[in-house]
Amino acid sequence: MEPPTPASLQTQPWRHSFEARLVLGALMLRLLYLATILDNPYFLHPITDEAMYDLWAQALVAGDPFLDHYPYYDSPLPAYFLAIVYSLFGHSYLMVRVVQVLLGTLNVLILYRIAGRLFDPTTAKVAGILAAAYLPFLYYEGLLLKESVALFLLDSSVLLILGALARPTWVAFWSVGATVGLLSLSRINALALVAACLILIAISLRGRTGGRAVLALLAGAIMVIAPVTVRNKLASGDWILITVSGGQVLYTANNPANQTGDLAPVPFVRPTSLFERVDFHRRAEAETGHRMTPAEVGAYWRHKSLAFSLEHPLTQARMVGHRFLRFWNEAEMPDNHWIETFKRFSWILRAPLPGYWLVAPFALVGLILLRRCWRELGLLYLVLTFYLLSLLPFWVSSRYRLPIVGILILFAAAGMTESRRRALSDQGRAWMLSAVLLAGACLFCWMPMAEPDVPSLERNLAYAYEQDKQYENAIAIYERLRTREQNPDNELYLANALGLAGRADEATALLAKLTEPGQPADVRRRAYNFSGDLARLAGQWTEAEQAYRAALSLDPTDYGAWNNLAVALTNQQKFGEGEQALLQSIALAPEDRVARQNLELLRRRIGASPPLPAPTGR
């Protein structure tokens, strides 16, 4: 086939153009979606990663340290993005989503402009419409997660490098590097795109021009990333590029307990960002028998993951193959949230709008039909290839693949228009090839794969209902889950919801059953902790103390129980015992910030000021 012809320049006033109508339509659809999720229990009550970034951003606005003696464990850009919004508009979850909607609308325009540079006007229009109406774009713009910003930065970097190649100046390539650097501060695997850009420069530019372009691009990326690296050095004493969690993430994806190729819980790690860092750190020190710096912990888990992969090469190959299939599969594999849950609250998400089920097969068709145009479309092929490769060592969820969907939309639009052109032509073989390709792509992308862990996602929804004080809705979910599976989590969380709903007798009876000697020790420990939490919320400090002491009798290394015990003790004016409990919590988990903050507050209250115990890594 012939190379695509770039879209012609518009001569009519912009407000009358297709581009203007596209932007307005995209914005109106996004605002309408936002209006449909205002009563969603998640709207005002972030959970898991959202909650962690929300707390981090609030600390930044207040000028308080979040991880003052620890290198960044999670990507820092999302927290700073939220902090900027909070600084401008106050602690408003609505304004965060409004800003993300504006970025999402601008991203539609960016994709339309990219398509206009690389394809014909019809393909550009199809790409713009797909981007404007793509359901997962709307969905993620309504969450306090980093994906919508990462999508915007990736597509912006593609548009910028197209402009830089057309007019190769130092500033143009520096801006590309800076944008990719920002993207890497949101999704660290996006560092792979630096390599994609360098290859493209080597192919497209020669001599001094190419050399200056490479230096400018690297300078832009380094200038953005370097402050984070220096901050990590000052905080921990180790040179850590962006985050210290690479080894932990790699182990989560590749370990003896998870051979599925998908994300699965690590047995000794609580599945929330607020505790994951501490749990991995404590386990590494327990297995090695000595204190470890954050960098040493990351290296330890990276080594264990690589050892597992080398010992089980066939299993590893199967897992990588599974991830490749998952990347192209129509299912929106959840992580923190699930789009199917949100469909209960928004009729727009239930509307027959484009999704991955449509984009993925047509993108495959476009990739194949446009293969002879690889020189003109080399940037898109390189960015897609490198981003896909960066996912394969880990896992592929809807969140992880979202930033690259804009590139897939461009290929999908080209696949649609080229298939239509062939269908209308007199070339029978060309039409048959397109039809066969599309049929094969649909079978490939629509084949059934493993379903997500629906009960855990339902528990997340129930927790959001609890935070929204819709206790009866939470109780109904837990009751329903009790009939589906034998999992003590359902009993524990049900007891907590009953207590919050004022049904204390039912909560107490259920927790008493879970603390019976016949129950597993870990279930008993957690039940005592839940009992202590409910007593603490009710201001019953003596009962809370007794419950936490019972939990510690089963597991003296439960640093969270030591911290909670200290809260119960100090509210009974037992300051000395409370201080000792906090010191014990810190000794067990020096990298946990909560007990350290509580100890500082307690010492201010009683007028004592001995130095705090040194944290890990100092």
Mean pLDDT value across residues 102-129: 97
pLDDT score, position 28: 98
Q: How confident is the model at residue 432 (pLDDT cuts 50, 70, 90)?
A: confident
Among residues of the chain, what percentage have pLDDT more than 90? 76
Dist. CA 486–CA 479, nearest whole Å: 12
> In this structure, which amino acid lies at residue 556?
P
- The string of pLDDT tens digits covering residues 507-529 is 999 999 999 988 899 999 999 99
Using pLDDT thresholds of 50, 70 and 90, give the confidence band for residue 471: very high
pTM score, two decimals?
0.91
The residues, ordered by sequence, that sit 6+ positions from 2 with a Cβ below 8 Å of its Cβ are none
Q: What is residue 11's predicted lDDT score, i.e. its pLDDT? A: 61
For residue 601, the model assigns a pLDDT of 85
Distances (CA, A) of 38 to 33, 178, 346: 9, 35, 9
Q: How far apart are CA 264 and CA 266, in angstroms?
A: 7
pLDDT at 618 over 50: no
Name the amino acid, one letter, at 521.
Answer: A
Q: Is 50 exceeded by the pLDDT of residue 1? A: no
Q: What is the pLDDT of residue 599?
A: 86
Per-residue pLDDT tens for 387-412?
999 999 999 999 999 999 999 999 99
Residue 226's pLDDT is 97
**What confidence category does residue 8 fall into, taking pLDDT thresholds of 50, 70 and 90?**
very low
Tell me the pLDDT band of 169, cut-offs 50, 70 and 90: very high
Tell me the sheet residues that pair with 258: 255
Q: What are the C-alpha distances in Å from 138 to residues 36, 75, 131, 214, 600? A: 11, 22, 10, 36, 43
| The predicted structure's pLDDT at residue 195 | 94
How far are the Cα atoms of 193, 391, 479 from residue 177, in angstroms, in the given order?
A: 10, 21, 52
Check residue 447 and give its pLDDT.
Answer: 96
Name every residue whose Cβ is closer than 8 Å to that of residue 432 and which is 6 or more positions away in sequence.
none
- In contact, 372 and 323? CB cutoff 8 Å: no
d(C-alpha 408, C-alpha 355), whole Å: 12
Q: CB–CB of 315/259 below 8 Å? A: yes
Question: Which residues, listed in sequence order, are joined to residue 255 by a DSSP beta bridge?
Answer: 258
Query: What is the Cα gyration radius of the chain?
Result: 27
* Local structure of 258: helix, strand or coil: strand
- At residue 522, the 3 state secondary structure works out as helix
CA distance 584 to 552: 12
Which of the residue ranges 60-74, 398-412, 493-507, 530-544 would you say has the lowest mean pLDDT?
Answer: 60-74
pLDDT of residue 592: 76
Cβ(365)–Cβ(441) below 8 Å: yes
pLDDT of residue 131: 98
C-alpha distances in angstroms, 217 versus 44, 155, 366, 569?
A: 40, 16, 29, 57
497 Cβ contact partners less than 8 Å away, ≥ 6 residues apart: 462, 466, 471, 474, 475, 478
Task: Tell me the residue length of the chain.
Answer: 618
> Coil, helix or strand for 425?
coil
Q: Is the pLDDT of residue 276 over 80?
A: yes
pLDDT digits (tens, 9 = 90+) for 548-575: 999 999 999 999 999 999 999 999 999 8
pLDDT in tens, 573-616: 998 998 899 999 888 888 777 888 888 888 888 875 555 454 33
Q: What percent of the chain is modeled with pLDDT above 70?
A: 96
State yes or no: pLDDT of 9 exceeds 70.
Answer: no
Q: What is the pLDDT of residues 481-515, one digit of tens each?
A: 999 988 888 999 999 999 999 999 999 999 999 99
Per-residue pLDDT at 274: 73
Mean of the pLDDT values across residues 179-184?
97
Q: Do residues 81 and 149 lie in contact, with contact meaning Cβ atoms separated by under 8 Å? A: yes
- 255 three-class SS: strand
**259 CB contacts (<8 Å, ≥6 apart)?**
312, 315, 319
> How much of the chain is helix, strand and coil, in % rounded to 5?
70, 0, 30
Note the pLDDT of residue 554.
92
Q: What is the pLDDT of residue 207?
A: 86
Q: What is the pLDDT of residue 425?
A: 77
For the cut 80, the answer to whether the pLDDT of residue 532 exceeds it is yes
Measure the CA dihedral 178/180/183/187, to 10°. -140
DSSP structural state of residue 14: G
Kindly report the average pLDDT of the chain as a whole number. Answer: 91
The C-alpha atoms of residue 53 and residue 579 are separated, in whole angstroms, by 29
DSSP designation for 90 = -
Surface-to-core class of residue 441, CB atoms within 10 Å of its CB (0-12 exposed, 13-18 middle, 19+ buried): buried
